[in-house]
Amino acid sequence: MIHLSQGNLKDVEADLATAVRIEPGIANPRIILSAFHVYRNNRAKAMTILSEGLTGSKSDAVLYAAMARIMASENRAAEAIRYLQKSKEKDPGAVDPYFMLADFYVAQRDTAKALAEYSSLLQQHPANTRAFIRMAGLMESENRQNEALILYQKAKETHEVAGYLALAHYHEQRGSLKDAQSVYSEARIRFPRSVPVLEQQGRFYL
């Protein structure tokens, strides 16, 4: 890190390569070294470094996800999707691949596949607030308002700040101001010191 702050990129690469040699089975140094090569615009080298770390174990999931990000940066969506699917196979409990796949499918306007990814994620993590909010947003985009409302309510039921704010904002956007006010009031009681709650509620009353 000292070398990086001083602009000694060759020394940075050497330090990271040494870390990979010392602990070849640990993903983090390898991912950092690959990111360094992406920064140097050498994505082929970055992919090689990641692929050389694959061991057939659960830890491969983070390497496949990193490979997917590189493919995505080159607009190679099909290959990125393939690596993300491999990441899910290695570690079904990892959250990022589901969101990344859903983002790809949304970009391809394949809402059904995006929703399927969020549903699969929720099977692993039933209280994932962000998944409920993303699903609700997709339902809104297709004017499936009843389903959107149910999903926003489920997001609130995870008892995270984001779930309360998402539901309140949905009511507000739909013109259900009393419902929005009620949710904001609940959020204030549950999260009395939450800055996002105070800010969004304050904007609501302006």
Report the C-alpha dihedral over residues 104, 108, 112, 118, rounded to 10 degrees. 20
CA atoms within 13 A of residue 127's CA, in its CB half-sphere: 6
State the SS3 of 66-135: HHHHHHHHCCCHHHHHHHHHHHHHHCCCCCHHHHHHHHHHHHCCCHHHHHHHHHHHHHHCCCCHHHHHHH
Q: What is the pLDDT of residues 55-108, one digit of tens each?
A: 899 989 999 999 999 999 999 999 999 999 999 999 999 999 999 999 999 999
| 167 has pLDDT over 80 | yes
Report the C-alpha dihedral over residues 94, 96, 100, 102, rounded to 10 degrees. 60
Of 41-45, 70-74, 107-111, give the lowest mean pLDDT range.
Answer: 41-45
Report the SS3 class of residue 55: coil
Residue 111, token pair as written in the block = 């809402």
Q: Which helix (H) or strand (E) holds 44?
A: helix 43-51
Tell me the average pLDDT across 26-34: 73
Whether the CB-CB separation of 121 and 113 falls below 8 Å is answered with: no
Of 45-54, 138-147, 165-174, give the lowest mean pLDDT range.
Answer: 45-54
117 Cβ neighbours under 8 A, 6+ residues apart: 98, 99, 101, 102, 105
CA-closest candidate to residue 179, choices 140, 149, 136: 149
Tell me the average pLDDT across 132-147: 97
**Rounded Cα gap, residues 96 and 80, in angstroms:** 13
pLDDT of residue 124: 94
pLDDT of residue 34: 86
**Rounded Cα gap, residues 136 and 118, in angstroms:** 11
